[in-house]
Amino acid sequence: MTTNLNQQHLEAFRAVVEKRRSVKRFTNTAIPEDVLQDCLDLAMLAPNSSNLQPWEFHIIRSVDKRAAAIHACLNQNAAKTSQVLIAIVARTDTWQQHATDVLKRWPSPEIPAIVTRYYTQLTHANFTLGPLNILAPLKWAGIRLKRLSGGAVAEAHYNQSTIKLWATKSTALAAENLMLAFCAHGFDSCPMEGFDPAAMTKILSLNKHQHIVMMLGAGERADNGIYHPQFRFERERFIKEV
């Protein structure tokens, strides 16, 4: 029974992954609100670093802001014809509050001491930069000394750029969940890197700690929504045995 169920799950997953395409044109069919909200809930189940969930999803509903956002998306068809237009945003300033919230919402009454130490001490040591990144040299020296002594240690955050990369990686995983969720619901999407980040930041009134990872248009696939058959390079290019 378990084997059959696993096979069903695999085939359902394979069907969604193979069906998902970056659709460039959508029909006028609206995405029901409950479907949209379910897709967003599934997006936020994505794996993420230390469960700090450094993401936001800005759904552009205002007519004026949508028109401006489409223009900032270079008037791409995927933006113009989308039924839902979403800015997927990574945040570099929520880690401290989220570290506190993890402990508040820990799923069992007793929090392991190592977990408490991680979120109250190690997380802060990793992310805290100090004025003008004054702590960066100390972090760098400490890590190099530990490696010289034969220890293995993860790289620390030395500046806002490394924190931005950290947040972007987790947010991109959530974006993939969102696209697969739309597909599983019978809708499609198109991630767009082609947009004016300065203009979009202004349209959405984002601050310096909010970074747009991608714009996402979603809707029902139009008959001319796919521009060409899907193809990938040979797998040997990417899969390495070491």
Per-residue pLDDT of the chain (242 residues; tens, 9 = 90+): 788 999 999 999 999 999 999 999 999 999 999 999 999 999 999 999 999 999 999 999 999 999 999 999 999 999 999 999 999 999 999 999 999 999 999 999 999 999 999 999 999 999 999 888 898 888 888 888 888 888 888 888 999 999 999 999 999 999 999 999 999 999 999 999 999 999 999 999 999 999 999 999 999 999 999 999 999 999 999 999 99
Q: Which of 186, 214, 226, 222 is nearest to 86 (CA)?
A: 214
Q: Which CATH number applies to 25-92+127-223?
A: 3.40.109.10
Predicted pLDDT at 141: 84
Q: Residue 132: what pLDDT?
A: 85
| Domain extents in the chain | 25-92+127-223
Residues 6+ apart with CB under 8 A from 163: 92, 95, 127, 157
Cβ pair 214, 171 in contact under 8 A = no
Q: How far apart are CA 105 and CA 237, in angstroms?
A: 43
The answer to whether 174 and 157 are in contact (CB under 8 A) is no
Among 26, 68, 74, which Cα is nearest to 192's?
74
Q: Take residue 62 and report the two structure tokens written for it.
A: 């205002």
Helices (H), the chain: 2-19, 33-43, 63-72, 77-80, 95-104, 113-117, 123-127, 136-148, 160-184, 197-203
Amino acid at 173: L
